[in-house]
Structure 1
Amino acid sequence: MKKKHWLVTAAVVGMALTGSAGVYAGTNLESIKASLNHGLGIQVNGSAYTPTANGKKLAPISYQGTTYLPIRSIGEALNTPVSFDAASNKVIIGSGSSTGTPATPAVSTAVIKTKYLPTDFPFPKDAKQVSLVENVADNKKQVSLLYSTKSNLLELGNTYKDYYLSKDVTKNSEIIEADNLSIVSSKDNDFVVSINSSPITNQTGAYEISVVWKEQ
């Protein structure tokens, strides 16, 4: 078969969201026969790109004349957040909202001053400290921080996910949804962190974010 090279644009489609297959209702699933196209090259902004998930190479799928690409991996290549909202059974690309207040981009730790969090730990621009406890136990630094924000949880969650993946963590799990954020990451002999959200009563779109960070 002649090798094809495709330039990835906004028109590229694909629904291979890693880790989300089990949440779809069985009545909405339809069995098909498709082919993994290992010979298809992908180019993103002029550079060759190989989609991956959890360290494994992902192949495009060819079905009835249409090529399907793994959307989460492609989203990462294009710096566009991609998430799955289990409540509405919907894949969300981008901020997740076409109306209302735009999502607040994350910035540096200068928004909230701490002694022990890494200096590049990201906070949303509107973050407001609710409580902060920092101490040292058994010669290990510990941080327990609570802050409030009206930031979009999908974008905030993907910011934290990408941040910790860039730290070469040895263990990582996350739930990133439009109304729920839960991330646990750790790096052997370095640190462990958990980040969780909870809605603020009587404040639409506002959340408290709990950050618990410890040295290992």
Structure 2
Amino acid sequence: MKSKKWLIAAGVFGMVLTGSAGVYAGTQLETIKAYLNHGLAIEVNGQKFTPTGDQGKKLAPITYQGSTYLPVRSIADALKTEVKYDSQNNKVSIGSSSSSGGSTSSGNSGSTSPSTGTNTQAAGVKSKYLPADFPLPKDAKATSLIESNVGGNDKKVLLTYTTKETLLAVGTSYKDYYQTKNLSQNTQDIQADGFSIVGREDGKYAVTITGSVSATNKDLNEITVVWGEE
């Protein structure tokens, strides 16, 4: 897609960069050649967003081997999702634990029969918080799924899945789906090589969906869904 805007989700799932250069002795760090992407526009739920670090310093996305990475803490804060760094175990945790009302999962988390492509219980995707009629291709397989429900309110979903369905078909299915909803904002850019959909129903929810060819498997398409209650 010639004028495609990458949205937030890819960066949240792409926290860790790996490369093939030399490894620093005694660490898990590897040297790589990457680029600060100052020209990339970022939107969170349809609104322009600029990641920031300590003391409000602006942070640029990083582009490496065809993938784009965003700062996880800044993005999690924008989504009102908890993020913790465990220095002792060298681990980053995103989302609340199940005991506090949230959940974090990845990979194939469902075990039901394949869906007809019209609900959120596909064989490879099982979301607690997406609407029950949210369209999914029958072969959809989650590569990342982060869900939170802090304090019992404001459910948030950050989902990336792969499918062999064409980008045009998947994008059109979401376009048709949201045309039946009472949205105050509904914009689509759907093309054969990628799509972007942004929608909002005031006071209820906002959603951003993007699709592109998978960077790691050209036979698959990768779809990212960012959905959250307002």
Q: TM-score scaled to structure 1, two decimals?
A: 0.49
Bigger fraction of residues in strand:
1
RCO greater where, 1 or 2, for CA within 8 Å and sep 6 or more? 2
